[in-house]
Amino acid sequence: MRFFGIRRKSKRTTEINPDEILIDASNVADFDRDQFEGRIERPLGHRTIVVATTLIALLFIAYVVRASDLQLIHGGTYAQRAKNNQLAQRTIFADRGIIEDRNGVPLAYNQRDSVADDFARRVYADMTGLAHVIGFVQPPAKDAGGTYYRTEFVGMDGAEKAFNDALGGKNGLKLTETDARDTVVSESTIKPPQSGDKLTLSIDAKVTSGLYEVLAKRAQEAHAIGGAGIVMDVRTGELLALTSYPEYSPNAMEQGDTVAIRSYNNNKNQPFLDRAVDGLYSPGSIIKPIMAAAALQEGVITEHTTIVSTGQISIPNPYNPSKPTVFRDWRVNGVLTVRDAIAVSSDVFFYEVGGGFKNQPGIGISNIEKYFRMFGYGSDAGLKGFSYKTGTIPSPAWKAENFPDDPTWRVGNTYHTAIGQYGMQVTPLQAVREAATIANGGYLLTPTLLAHAPKQNVERLPIDPYNLQVSREGMRQGVKTGIATAINFPFVQAAAKTGTAEVGVRNEYQNAWMIGFWPYDNPKYAFAVVLERMPSGTPVGGASVMYDFFRWMDSNAPQYLK
């Protein structure tokens, strides 16, 4: 039996033979390692599969939660935010108008440190004495979320406040397109900003600063709590200088300097009070030139009438004849005409022409009030955006209202009102209007801080110009030979009237004034200065301030003395 013709049927198997898995040692060097030749692959383990699956599941759950938050819970909010991010309106802040003095010196201007700044900062000139006249602003401000809740500069004091509308300009508007990452894609200005108007003030910054420096020096020397000074053009009402001591820093206020602001608020001398326009003071003898013109106008005296000042007058007491009421002069002044009385500031003379005494009739309290009001006392001085205080002129009605336990008006009340005391209160701005009205022959001017502004509300007083001339002559005599000789200079011919008013519960303090004008023959400028609440009897006063100021003017601004 032959088996050669029979082939065995091979059996299929999945087993791997050793020769298929064993590496041929002689061929190892020829393996391409980058193609993974010669490496044995192992299947993924069960643990690895579980970890990978878990991570994928967690990522999917986080995605679902975030998507739900975005779409379902806060979908509306994020949709609006996305819309706003895509197209937003943004304010283009207008530059505020600059403020300069009459000579073009910048007093308030704009400064942008970086192009990234949304708006230019407000910067103020580094000069003393200008704070109250210039003022300061509050700049635009953002809330905690970065949104502007104040989109304008807001004038808070001085010219910045008074002329805020003109200085402010008008903001512009810009449309900004952003992508999802808040990156600006495009910008388009749909409304350009309009810068504010330039404002030229009537003041001379250097003169104002000079007046402030001498005022501060004398106030500190006299232990006064404050002071004020004003110079006004008697032809136009323009204010050449307007200053108040002490003052604040406009730059510190604009920048919100909390340390500086706290010190101002804690300062008992009130640096925020603009004493020049809103400080109220007993005027004392500075109102005597009005009393002189009123007495002449009412015919109770002539320019030649004489009154003897023995140092006092005595009024009988009907209830106790042994105890008359005595009204004293500040010294024995002797025989006086009205010019003499102004020059030496006699109290007795003006007691008598005000309230009458023996054979000398007085004009009476009604006429005293009438003439004081005629010269601008008892009403707003009219400096737009600045002055609000009207002061007080004592009268029977005023006394009845304010002293209900003693409402009767007495002759002594008239006497004291006639020399600017009792309850009378005035502002320095009112006082300089008096001086200007006497200087210019009877024209009551409305003060202004605008350079070259047309005269407004000029009132011609119903007083004989000659009667005002007599008052002017008395004021000039006061400088030449009277009690105002401190300002008797060869380089300027001034006329002036001093005033000292006792204040305090026991008259332990005094206000010291000087008002006047120059040059005497052709008046151009009137002035008023006051030192506030210094110890009674202090020799330093308004005359000392003007002595220093005229000497400063002669060296630094002589053009104004001609």
Question: What pLDDT shows up at residue 2?
Answer: 44
> How far is CA 94 from each of CA 110, 140, 282, 371, 515, rounded to the nearest angstrom?
11, 11, 45, 49, 43
Question: What pLDDT shows up at residue 177?
Answer: 77
Tens-digit pLDDT profile for residues 445-499: 999 999 998 877 788 999 999 999 999 999 999 999 999 999 999 999 999 999 9
Q: Is pLDDT at 18 greater than 60 in this prediction?
A: no
Question: What pLDDT shows up at residue 12?
Answer: 53
> Looking at this protein, which amino acid is placed at residue 79?
A
Nearest Cα neighbor of 379 from 395, 367, 391, 369 is 391
- The CATH number for 205-561, chosen from 2.60.40.10, 3.40.50.300, 3.40.710.10, 3.30.70.100, is 3.40.710.10
Q: Is the peptide bond before 271 cis (omega within 30 degrees of 0)?
A: no
Report the SS3 class of residue 330.
Answer: coil
Out of 15-24, 154-163, 355-364, which region has the weakest mean confidence (pLDDT)? 15-24
Angle, alpha carbons 368-542-304 (nearest 5°): 45
Q: Dig out the tokens for 497 from the structure.
A: 């009237």
> Looking at this protein, which amino acid is placed at residue 289?
P
Mean pLDDT of 501-509: 90
Question: What pLDDT shows up at residue 3?
Answer: 41
CATH domain 88-200 topology: Penicillin-binding protein 2a (Domain 2) (3.90.1310)
Question: What pLDDT shows up at residue 131?
Answer: 98
Query: Could you identify the residue written with the tokens 């300027």?
Result: 492
Mean pLDDT of 22-51: 63
Question: What pLDDT shows up at residue 78?
Answer: 64
DSSP conformation letters of 483-538: TTGGG--SS---EEEEEEEEESTTS-EEEEEEEEEE-SSS--EEEEEEEEEEETT-
Question: What pLDDT shows up at residue 403?
Answer: 95
Between helix 364-374 and helix 411-418 the angle, nearest 10°, is 30
Q: Dig out the tokens for 395 from the structure.
A: 């009268």
Question: What pLDDT shows up at residue 538?
Answer: 93
Pick the residue with more confidence: 260 or 71?
260
d(CA 476, CA 488): 9
d(CA 286, CA 293): 13
Instruction: Determine which helix (DSSP H) or strand (DSSP E) holds 49, and give its type and residue range.
Output: helix 46-68
Can you give 457-476 as a three-state secondary structure string?
A: CCEECCCCHHHHHHHHHHHH
Whether 88-200 shares its CATH topology with 205-561 is answered no
Question: What pLDDT shows up at residue 75?
Answer: 65
Q: Is pLDDT at 300 greater than 50 in this prediction?
A: yes
Q: Is pLDDT at 160 greater than 50 in this prediction?
A: yes
Average pLDDT, the chain: 90
Contact between 514 and 549 under an 8 Å Cβ cutoff? The reply is no
Q: Dig out the tokens for 529 from the structure.
A: 């200065």
Mean pLDDT of 68-89: 65
Q: Is pLDDT at 63 greater than 80 in this prediction?
A: no
- Structural Rg of the chain based on CA atoms: 43
Burial 35-63 (b: 16+ CB within 10 A, else e): eeeeeeeeeeeeeeeeeeeeeeeeeeeee
Question: What pLDDT shows up at residue 37?
Answer: 59
- Phi, psi of 452, rounded to the nearest 5 degrees: 60, 30
Parallel/antiparallel/unpaired status of strands 525-535 and 509-518: antiparallel
Tens-digit pLDDT profile for residues 258-268: 999 999 999 99
pLDDT band at 6 (very low <50, low <70, confident <90, very high): very low
- Where do the domains of the chain lie? 88-200, 205-561
Q: Is pLDDT at 28 greater than 60 in this prediction?
A: no
CA 237 to chain centre: 21
Q: Is pLDDT at 128 greater than 70 in this prediction?
A: yes
Report pTM. Answer: 0.83
d(CA 485, CA 482): 6
Q: Dig out the tokens for 302 from the structure.
A: 């002539």
Contact between 494 and 241 under an 8 Å Cβ cutoff? The reply is no
Mean pLDDT of 366-374: 98
d(CA 285, CA 300): 20
Out of 176-190, 301-315, 476-490, which region has the weakest mean confidence (pLDDT)? 176-190
Out of 19-28, 258-267, 300-309, 436-445, which region has the weakest mean confidence (pLDDT)? 19-28
Out of 113-117, 329-333, 395-399, which region has the weakest mean confidence (pLDDT)? 113-117
Q: What percent of the chain has pLDDT over 70?
A: 88
Question: What pLDDT shows up at residue 23?
Answer: 53
Q: Is pLDDT at 126 greater than 60 in this prediction?
A: yes
